[in-house]
Amino acid sequence: MSTGSSNNIQLLSPPHISLDDFAGRQRAEANEEDSPKSLLDISMLVSKEVGDRVRIYRKLAGLSQAELAKSANVTQVQVSRLEREPEKTRLAVFIRVSNALNKSLADLVEDIPVDLE
């Protein structure tokens, strides 16, 4: 037996915000001249440096992204993403690529200048 009324419940999902949007909001909310950089800003700077180092080591080895990918048993897309957006890359890919380049993970991150102020 139907009562004729229905309960319509709307489930609201949280808004999806990209990392770039979040970082932009963080910078807009903070006065960068008067306050230390946020951990997100520092993380993004370190990520960019790691990606740059992978690209440099790859080029010094005379390898294309496809050749490095084959040697590391990953896809060329994963190597490209590692170089451009390392923050979106799984640790297993870092390990495989660093091993294929005969570098340690420490080689990818050591001596990265981090300015906390």
Please give the domain boundaries of the chain with CATH numbers for all domains.
Answer: 19-109 (1.10.260.40)
Weakly modelled stretches of the chain, pLDDT under 70: 1-37, 114-117
Q: Given this model, what pLDDT does residue 61 score?
A: 93
CA–CA distance, 75 with 27 (Å, rounded to integer): 34
pLDDT of residue 14: 43
Total-model pTM: 0.61
State whether the Cα torsion 36-40-44-46 is positive or negative. positive
Is residue 83 within 8 Å of residue 51, measured between CB atoms? Answer: yes
| Contact call for residues 68 and 97 (beta carbons, < 8 A) | yes
% of the chain with per-residue pLDDT over 90? 35
**pLDDT at residue 28, rounded to an integer:** 57
Q: What is the pLDDT of residue 63?
A: 95
Token couple for 96 = 């495989």
